[in-house]
Amino acid sequence: MELKDIEKIVTHNNAVKYRVVTANGKKKTIRLFKTSNGLIGRLPKGYKVHGYILDYYDYSTWVSLVKVGSRPTDRVKLMKKHAIDALRYLNESGMWPSIKKEIEYFLSDDKIIEDVCKAIETDSYNNFYKECYDNGKFPWCHTFQVFESLYSKRCWKSIPYSSSHMREYKNQILSEAIRERKECSYSWHYFLDNRIEVTYNEKTNEMLGWLSCEYTGCANGHYYLLFDATHAIFYEND
C-alpha cells in the first residue's frame, strides 16, 4: 500500500483499530489515527497516549487495511430483552404496577416494539415524546423516559453503595420494606449525595421507589426509578 491510500482510510483523530494483511498473508490488528497536522499516527499495543508517526517500514508490506467494525447492536432484540427483564423485576417486587402494565402492552406485539424503537431512534425525545402525548401512536405510554432507557445499551443502574457490607445490609432492609409495603428512606455519600426512598400509595395501591444521586451542595443530579431492591432504571437528569 501507499501512504496516500492509508490517508484516505484513516480520517479520524482518535485511535481506532484496523485489520492489516501483509504481503505474506499475515494478519494483525493495529491502532491508527490522524494527527492535528494531517499525518498518520500509530498507537503501539499497551499505550493509551504517546503514539508515533507511521513510517514507510510500517506499511511497506501491507496489502490491505480495513477498519475493525464493532458488531452492530440489534436494538429491537436488546430493547425486548430489557423489557422482559424489567417485567420480571416488577412482577417479583410488585412495584410500579402502572409501569408494569405499559411494559406488558409493549411486549404484547413485536410490531409495537419495532415501532417504538424506530420512533426513539429517529429522535429520542421530540419524536417519541410527541407520539406518546400529542395524540400519537403510543397513547398507552405515560413514562416515555422508562422506554428510552429500555432502548439504551445499558439501562440498569446498580445502587452505588460504598462497600459490599453496606450493600448486603441495605439490600435486606430495602427488600423487607418492599415486601411488607412499608415506607423506607436513607441517604449516604459516595462520590455523590445518594438517597433511596420507597413508599406505598394506598389510594392507587402502588409501591413506588426512587434513587437519586445528586452533586454535593446542589439539588441537581441523576434520578432513577427502583424496580426492585437492586435494580434502578434511569429516569431523568436535572
In this prediction, residues 47-60 reach a mean pLDDT of: 85
158 with 220, same domain?
A: yes
Q: Are residues 117 and 199 in the same domain?
A: yes
38-64 mean pLDDT? 87
Q: Do 62 and 77 reside in the same domain of the chain?
A: no
What is the per-residue pLDDT for 221?
Answer: 92
Same domain, 41 and 94: no
> What is the spatial distance between Cα 97 and Cα 209, in angstroms, rounded to a whole number?
12
* 30 and 105 together in one domain: no
Q: Which residue in 55, 62, 52, 59 sits closest to 15, CA to CA? A: 52
* Residue 209 confidence (pLDDT): 97
Q: Which domain holds residue 225?
A: 73-238
* Rounded CA separation 115/136 (Å): 12
Last residue of a domain, one of 34, 67, 100: 67
- Cα separation, 213 vs 238, whole angstroms: 10
Give 230's contacts (C-beta < 8 A, 6+ positions apart): 158, 159, 171
**Does residue 153 have a pLDDT over 90?**
no
Angle at 211 between CA 209 and CA 215, to 5 degrees: 155
Last residue of a domain, one of 22, 37, 67: 67
User: In Å, how far are 94, 160, 218, 221 from 214, measured between CA atoms?
Assistant: 27, 12, 7, 4
Per-residue pLDDT, averaged over 70-91, amounts to 90
Query: Are 8 and 117 part of one and the same domain?
Result: no
Domain endpoint, select from 33, 67, 101: 67
User: CA-based angle 186:207:98, to the nearest 5?
Assistant: 135
Q: Are residues 99 and 163 in the same domain?
A: yes
Residues 15 and 130 in one domain: no
Q: Are residues 123 and 236 in the same domain?
A: yes
- For residues 130 and 112, state if they share a domain: yes
- Find the mean pLDDT for residues 129-156: 92
Looking at residue 61, its pLDDT comes to: 93
Q: Domain tally for the chain?
A: 2
The predicted model gives 194-207 an average pLDDT of: 93
- Per-residue H/E/C for the chain: CCHHHHHHHCCCCCCEEEEEEECCCCEEEEEEEECCCCCEEEECCCCCCCCEECCHHHHCCEEEEEECCCCCCCHHHHHHHHHHHHHHHHHHHCECHHHHHHHHHHCCCHHHHHHHHHHHHHCCCHHHHHHHHCCCCCCCCCCHHHHHHHHCCCCEECCCCCCHHHHHHHHHHHHHHHHCCCCEEEEEEECEEEEEEEEEECCCCEEEEEEEEECCCCCCEEEEEECCCCCEEEEEEC
Instruction: Kindly give, in sequence order, each residue whose CB lies less than 8 Å from that of residue 86, ignoring residues fewer than 6 positions away.
Output: 103, 146, 150, 227, 233
pLDDT at 73: 72
pLDDT in tens, 162-180: 999 999 999 999 999 999 9
Pairing mode, strands 40-43 and 52-53: antiparallel
| pTM listed for this prediction | 0.70
